[in-house]
Amino acid sequence: MGSACSGKLKLKERRFLILGLDGAGKKTLLGKLGCGEPQHHALFEGFDWWNVQNGRCNFVSWNLGTDATKPENKPKYKDMFRNTVGIIFVIDSSNRDRFEEVKTEFWKIINDKCLRDFALLVFANKQDVQGAASEDDIKSFIYLWNVRRNKWNIQASSFKNGDGLEAGLTWLDNETGKNVRK
């Protein structure tokens, strides 16, 4: 993401949402993407979010599956979807006990009318943990092949040691850069 988001190319600002359950690695990813510590914000009680700016790219993250993200609260945070060109959905591949919850939250995002025509990158994170589900296992479990209206990619990763990060972000940069050139 470095070259495209650094401002060297003539790109409009791009917004990416980094979503997933708590403990999946979203804040670790934010730390790898930004210049400095992720900034913490509270939109309303119980809805905490973080962001980092990297050149012309703004990365925004919050936890799914919390009381704050229940449907009745969506009007309070739906403006955060505005100008989103890409979604990074982070899955803790080592925590199979939460895969049903992951699938539920994943499909809420995919079916959300506020989020159409975006590039979708799924990071199968924590591949460094013994027994972690593979890319193919996760693809099958969440029915990723059923995503029809968005271009998508799944990338095995370990944010802890950086594995898979560059490959996934390069794909996302290529997909989102096509639609945002001035």
Confirm whether residue 10 is marked as ligand binding: no
- 3-state secondary structure at position 108: helix
Is 91's pLDDT higher than 50? yes
Q: Give the distance, in angstroms, between the CA of residue 139 and the centroid of all CA atoms in the same chain.
A: 16
> In which band, very low, low, confident or very high, does the pLDDT at 127 lie, cut at 50, 70 and 90?
very high
- 128 labelled ligand-binding: yes
High-pLDDT (> 70) share of the chain, %: 86
Q: Which of 56-65, 92-101, 132-141 has the lowest mean pLDDT?
A: 56-65
Q: What is the value of pTM for the model shown? A: 0.84
Average predicted confidence (pLDDT) for the chain: 83
pLDDT(120) > 60 = yes
For 58-78, b where at least 16 C-beta lie within 10 A, e where not — what string?
bbbbbbbbeebbeeebeeeee
Task: Identify the structural domains of the chain with CATH numbers, from first to last.
Answer: 2-177 (3.40.50.300)
Residue 39 assigned to a binding site: no
127 is in an annotated binding site: yes
